[in-house]
Amino acid sequence: MNGKLDFVSRSQYSGYYLGILGTVVVVGLVALPYVVAQGFTNTLVNLFILLILANMWNVLAGYGGLVSVGQQAFIGIGAYTVLLLAQHGIEPFLAIPVAVVVGAVFAYPISWFLFRLTGGYFAIATWVVAVAAGITITGIPSLGGGTGASLPGLQSMSSVLLGAFTYWASLAVVLASLVSVYLLLRSRLGLALTAVRDNEIGARSIGVKVTRAKRIVYLISAAGCAGAGALIAISQLNVQAANVFNVQWTAYMIFAVLIGGIGSIEGPIIGSVVFIVLQQSLARFNAWYLVIVGAVAVIIAIWARGGIWGVWADRSSTKLFPVGYFLRKSSPEGDQLVTQTNK
Amino acid sequence: MENTPLLELIGIVKRFNKVSVAEGLAFSVADGEAVGIVGPNGAGKTSLFGIISGELHEDAGEVRLGGELLNRRDSADRCKMGIGRTHQVPRPFQQMTVFENVLVAAHQGAGLKGRDATDLASSVLSDTGLYDVANRPAGRLGLLHRKRLELARALATRPRILLLDEVAGGLTDPEVDELIKIVLKARKSGVAVIWIEHAVRALVETVDRLICIAGGRIIGDGKPAQVLAMAEVKELFLGTEPGEESALRMDHYASHGHLGDGEGRQVSP
Ligand SMILES: Nc1ncnc2c1ncn2[C@@H]1O[C@H](COP(=O)(O)OP(=O)(O)OP(=O)(O)O)[C@@H](O)[C@H]1O
Ligand SMILES: [Mg+2]
């Protein structure tokens, strides 16, 4: 009946169409600067930065259960890494991957301190770390002190070209972050993390080294946020501690994740798009847009705990990123999913 | 080292404020042996599993597996070393399918990869009668299947000793019969078992030895029939015969309202 005949697929449907769809979307996005006005790609840069942050906060809190309100520490570290390297003659675009690595390197010792704490204490400590990092950097005159410094190295580029390169760099980082998280969640570690997401004690008792898994997630999240920080530095051509270490970045990423749906790859993507659309269409209300976005997040948190994607996922098993396992069996009618009815 | 017991508890003491759940508990379980544990509500049975599996820290005493001291190992390590446990209140990974629930255990607990892991997961699902719901999210399972999933996950870690905490609680008689078959099959493969259960019938049919715990102490330890015949034990069971729905078990529902109130209050280490 089963045993040797069983096999396991990673997607309920063929991944073929998803592959084609993904390729079309990526090619379209790459070609975009040739087609649309620069204002639009600039908005997309903001979307991509938010998407990276939301994606990272989602793995951190949604899978690792690590509710951090201090991810701006790594945004700042990423931005200042680019600034420091640019001051020493290194092309800012080439500094992005360095910033990513530097983010993870800083996160490692910080995690040993933070992981002694849990829950609310953990959250507050992450924030304290971010504030301390901001103050420390403000005290370094060569990095511009409190007033910040403009980013050297890109002045020779025409504004159109710079805009396009910034867009492509952001697209590259956002794709890298999505692909990394996708591959992570498809791996054995990813399945273990998903178990941690659903029930931490249960996960421990079947052999999941929870703290180790969380530390890995924390490092990945720091790396991604540092990448976003590098992009912020490049897109603003200016690095100021009060901006890059601002807790509002964390508020944005949390809003985007809550709106879209925590604990899935799709949720933060949807949430980031909704956030940016709201931000753009409410621009004339100035800072009030944040209040409205926050209200939307709160309403969703109360009435649709799984966010927009969660509402969809409750009704359909179709996913953009297939990370699951499906037990199938061979039968005379062809391969099929094991279900209650075909006993 | 011929006679080293598989699991050995020595002088375990554990108190929650004034409540004492273990006052110098000591017993050992041999390779392949099956031991049943009975005792009134709040006797400390679940806490004992917590101490063995590393979810709770004992105040004093030693836990050893195959002679090796476990006290400083976390629950994940203990699982990898061969202690597989179920929880009185099931802890399913709600949004993962039944198959995925069991697969993580095969990956992490048994240390398997790829095809080996998926094969083990699917064979454990057939053994535990969960094969047909393999692709269903665990959050949509009924009580029977949730209890079986706890058992399936523990089995998929390839344990040397299986700790069962009221896996028959709340099940109907035919369902308990099925469960007994599952546990007997696991026993055949050589795994040792400690089974906490209020329904003594299930224990009498599966275990070699019965331990009765009350007030954090062992008040009976021996062949099931002998232990159930002891005056102190009978007193706890209020005169009901083993095999019947015991008064103890009814009491359990009356006082707790639902299964495993005690477990729900436990904190992770
Ligand atoms: N984390 C905890 N903090 C404080 N008290 C606890 C904790 N866990 C258990 N207790 C108490 O310890 C006692 C023993 O609980 P335990 O769950 O081990 O009993 P049990 O024998 O499994 O009971 P039951 O048959 O109801 O499952 C109970 O009085 C319970 O309320
Ligand atoms: Mg109990």
How many CB atoms are closer than 10 A to CB A183? Answer: 11
Residues A26-56 pLDDT 10s: 999 988 888 888 888 889 999 999 999 999 9
Predicted-complex ipTM score: 0.83
pLDDT at A110: 94
Per-residue pLDDT at A93 exceeds 90: yes
Collapsing DSSP states into helix, strand and coil, what is residue A222?
Answer: helix
Q: Whose CA is nearest to atom 25 of ligand 1?
A: B41
pLDDT at B209: 92
Domains and CATH numbers, chain A: 5-341 (1.10.3470)
Q: Which residues of A touch B103 (CB under 8 A)?
A: 191, 325
| CATH class assigned to B1-78+160-166+181-225 | alpha beta
pLDDT at B262: 37
User: Rounded to the nearest 5°, which phi and psi values hold at A208?
Assistant: -80, 125
Smallest Cβ distance to B105: which of A3, A207, A326?
A: A207
Residues B92-138 pLDDT 10s: 999 899 999 999 999 999 999 988 999 999 999 999 999 989 889 99
Mean local confidence (pLDDT), A193-214: 92
Residues B212-250 pLDDT 10s: 998 888 888 888 888 888 877 777 775 444 444 444 443
Residues B147-199 pLDDT 10s: 999 999 999 999 999 999 999 988 888 999 999 999 999 999 999 999 999 88
Mean local confidence (pLDDT), A229-243: 93
pLDDT at B267: 37
Per-residue pLDDT at B258 exceeds 60: no
Residues A143-181 pLDDT 10s: 888 788 888 888 888 888 888 999 999 999 999 999 999
Per-residue pLDDT at A104 exceeds 60: yes
User: Rounded to the nearest 5°, which phi and psi values hold at A157?
Assistant: -75, 145
Of residues A237 and A284, more confidently modeled? A237
pLDDT at A5: 55
Which 3-state string (H, E, C) describes A260-309?
Answer: HCCCCCHHHHHHHHHHHHHHHHCHHHCCHHHHHHHHHHHHHHHHCCCHHH
Closest-CA distance of chain B to residue A81, Å: 37
Q: How far is the CA of B19 from the centre of ligand 1 (A)?
A: 9
A288, β-bridge pairs: none
Q: Which residues of A touch B100 (CB under 8 A)?
A: 191, 194, 324-325
C-alpha distances (whole Å) from A223 to each of A95, A107, A192, A219 are 13, 8, 21, 6
Q: For a pocket test of ligand 1, which of B15, B41, B218, B252 has the largest count of ligand atoms closer than 8 A to its C-beta?
A: B41
pLDDT at B34: 93
- Provide the residue ranges of all domains of chain B, joining segments of one domain with +: 1-78+160-166+181-225, 83-158
Separation between Cα atoms, residue B136 and residue B269, nearest integer Å:
31
Q: How far is the CA of B177 from the centre of ligand 2 (A)?
A: 21
Collapsing DSSP states into helix, strand and coil, what is residue A342?
Answer: coil
Residue with tokens 């749906």: A261
In chain B, what's the furthest Cα-to-Cα distance? 54
Strands A326-329 and A336-337: antiparallel
Q: How far is CA B95 from the centre of its chain?
A: 24
- Counting atoms of ligand 1 from 1, which one is nearest the CA of B266? 1
Residue B269's pLDDT band (boundaries 50, 70, 90)?
A: very low
pLDDT at A342: 38
Per-residue pLDDT at A231 exceeds 80: yes
Residue B2's pLDDT band (boundaries 50, 70, 90)?
A: low
Per-residue pLDDT at B17 exceeds 80: yes
Separation between Cα atoms, residue B267 and residue B262, nearest integer Å:
11
Residue A340's pLDDT band (boundaries 50, 70, 90)?
A: low
What is the torsion angle, in degrees rounded to the nearest 10, for the CA atoms of residue A244, residue A248, residue A254 and residue A258?
-140
Computed from CA positions of residues A214, A216, A219, A224, in that sequence, does the dihedral angle turn out positive or negative? negative
pLDDT at A313: 78
Average pLDDT, chain A: 87
pLDDT at A18: 76
Contact with chain B for residue A315, Cβ under 8 A: no
Q: Which residues of B touch A206 (CB under 8 A)?
A: 79, 84, 104-105, 108-109, 153-154, 156-157
pLDDT at B84: 94
pLDDT at A14: 59
